[in-house]
């Protein structure tokens, strides 16, 4: 991300910044990698350390199934029976030491504020509009938006009135960034990148409250949810600047890379974290070699598990998947197009599919609750 500023800040960092009554605003440096990573500086009405009460609530990590036979998996996320705010209506489906992957079906605004102290959160909005209120300001969202909420950011998800917000959620235990190969030595996105800085939206306006009272902030840290009661509104920031802040990127702004013959999955990469990547499959022209086969070749995930979340369109290499389906093709066995899909793709000029892919470089485990929404016959759908 690039430098941004919102609200009021002093001319020089780490110097006195006074209110009209002569008292000081409270400076907070919020950064990653021990002051050597990306960071922002925020200025508060009150001390960000001022906590009136703290309480341990529960573990938020999913319970995983015991070891099952190695096979391809398929889950119908539309069948999840969850509703409430974005904390209550959050269900994990898969996970490992690096990432948790699940769904949010939020039907109302969050009653408490929240922050993830274990890593970044990346939301992909499938259905619904609304806002994410954060200590950095408001981010408006719409279908197709990826929204990244950095570690330690206090936020609240507010679906539009009368709407349900349905999101794929990726909770990372590391920072989420754009791929290094698309950035030059100065951090700027290169000309051959499938997106540029113009495509990223930061917070649009700053919400600042001087209100005193009791405000509940649920903090995820070390695998547990902790309740912190603030003596003041958590959005008391009057200004900030830096490189660390929430941002949104719409999948329709991803410009696909195509070629004469079938391109490998890394050309669809959009983001990366520690031991995983996120890719975007978007409408695009097919390969233009006169004898090309647009459908992907069968391949073995030798070092990675491959997860696909199907958004819309007719995914040309699959049968039986629906909008909201998640498929998992684990490392150790090959996967590829369903029978007849290779032949059917020949001569096609374009695809209108939309999907999100997550490749993890450590095996994914299946949450026990995911068994309730599984298509148990998926492994055998390649049998002709």
Q: What mean pLDDT comes out for the span 354-381?
A: 95
Q: What mean pLDDT comes out for the span 132-144?
A: 98
Q: What mean pLDDT comes out for the span 157-166?
A: 96
Single out the residue of 353, 267, 358, 367 nearest to residue 312, CA to CA: 353
Q: What mean pLDDT comes out for the span 7-33?
A: 96
| pLDDT the model gives residue 109 | 97
Dist. CA 186–CA 163, nearest whole Å: 42
Please count the other Cβ atoms lying within 10 Å of the Cβ belonging to residue 60: 18
| pLDDT the model gives residue 316 | 64
- Look at residue 347 and give its three-state secondary structure: coil
- Look at residue 320 and give its three-state secondary structure: coil
Residue written as token pair 């050597």: 36
Partners of 31 in the beta sheet? 39
pLDDT band (50, 70, 90) for residue 308: very high
- Look at residue 344 and give its three-state secondary structure: helix
Ramachandran angles phi, psi of 381, nearest 5°: -80, -5
Q: How much of the chain, in percent, has pLDDT values that exceed 70? A: 99
Contacts 24+ apart (CB under 8 A), 380-384: 381/319, 381/320, 381/338, 382/338, 382/339, 383/339, 384/339
Q: What mean pLDDT comes out for the span 167-180?
A: 96
| pLDDT the model gives residue 317 | 63
| pLDDT the model gives residue 384 | 81
Q: Where are the alpha helices (DSSP H) in the chain?
A: 341-345
Q: What mean pLDDT comes out for the span 295-306?
A: 87
- Please check the confidence at residue 92 and state whether its pLDDT lies above 90: yes
Least-confidence region, from 24-28, 256-260, 323-327:
256-260
**pLDDT digit string, tens, across residues 196-214:** 999 999 999 999 999 999 9
- Please check the confidence at residue 122 and state whether its pLDDT lies above 90: yes
Mean pLDDT of the chain, nearest integer: 94
Dist. CA 186–CA 180, nearest whole Å: 11
Cα dihedral 129→135→137→141 (10° resolution): -20
Taking the model in full, what pTM does it have? Answer: 0.95
- Please check the confidence at residue 301 and state whether its pLDDT lies above 80: no
Q: What mean pLDDT comes out for the span 124-135?
A: 98
Q: What mean pLDDT comes out for the span 158-173?
A: 97
Q: Which of 193 and 351 is assigned the larger pLDDT?
A: 193
Q: How many CA atoms, within 13 angstroms, populate the side-chain half-sphere of residue 268?
A: 21
Render the burial of 20-40: b for 16+ CB within 10 Å, e for the rest.
Answer: eeeeebbbbebbbeeeeebeb
Domains of the chain: 254-380 (2.60.120.10)
- Please check the confidence at residue 48 and state whether its pLDDT lies above 90: yes
- Look at residue 183 and give its three-state secondary structure: strand
Question: With left for phi above 0 and alpha for psi between -120 and 50, is residue 150 left, alpha or beta?
Answer: beta
CB 139 within 8 A of CB 201: yes
């Amino acid at each position: 991300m690039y430098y941004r500023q919102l609200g009021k800040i002093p001319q020089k960092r780490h110097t006195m910044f006074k209110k009209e009554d002569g008292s000081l605003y409270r400076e907070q440096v919020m950064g990653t990698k021990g002051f050597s990573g990306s960071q922002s500086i925020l200025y508060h009405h009150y001390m960000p350390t001022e906590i009136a009460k703290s309480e341990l609530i529960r573990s938020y990590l999913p319970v995983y199934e015991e070891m099952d036979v190695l096979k391809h998996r398929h889950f119908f996320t539309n069948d999840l029976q969850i509703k409430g705010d974005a904390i209550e209506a959050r269900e994990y489906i898969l996970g490992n030491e690096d990432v948790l992957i699940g769904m949010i079906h939020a039907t109302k605004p969050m009653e408490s504020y929240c922050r993830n102290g274990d890593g970044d959160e990346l939301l992909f909005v499938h259905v619904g509009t609304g806002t994410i209120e954060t200590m950095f300001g408001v981010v408006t969202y719409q279908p197709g938006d990826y929204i990244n909420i950095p570690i330690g950011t206090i936020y609240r998800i507010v679906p539009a009135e009368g709407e349900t917000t349905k999101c794929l959620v990726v909770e990372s235990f590391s920072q989420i960034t754009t791929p290094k190969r698309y950035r030059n030595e100065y951090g700027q996105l290169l000309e051959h990148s499938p997106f540029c800085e113009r495509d990223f939206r930061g917070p649009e306006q700053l919400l600042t409250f001087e209100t005193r009272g009791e405000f509940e902030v649920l903090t995820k840290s070390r695998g547990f949810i902790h309740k912190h009661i603030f003596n003041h509104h958590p959005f008391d920031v009057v200004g900030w600047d830096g490189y660390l802040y929430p941002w949104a990127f719409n999948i329709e702004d991803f410009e696909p890379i195509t070629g004469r013959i079938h391109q490998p999955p890394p050309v669809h990469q959009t983001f990366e974290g520690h031991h995983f990547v996120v890719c975007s499959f978007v409408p695009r022209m097919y390969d233009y070699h006169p004898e090309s086969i647009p459908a992907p070749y069968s391949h073995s995930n030798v070092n990675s598990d491959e997860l696909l979340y199907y958004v819309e369109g007719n995914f040309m290499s699959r049968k039986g998947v629906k909008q909201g389906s998640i498929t998992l093709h684990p490392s150790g066995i090959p996967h590829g197009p369903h029978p007849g899909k290779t032949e059917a793709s020949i001569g096609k000029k374009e695809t209108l599919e939309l999907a999100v892919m997550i490749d993890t470089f450590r095996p994914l485990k299946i949450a026990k609750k995911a068994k309730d929404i599984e298509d148990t016959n998926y492994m055998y759908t390649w049998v002709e």
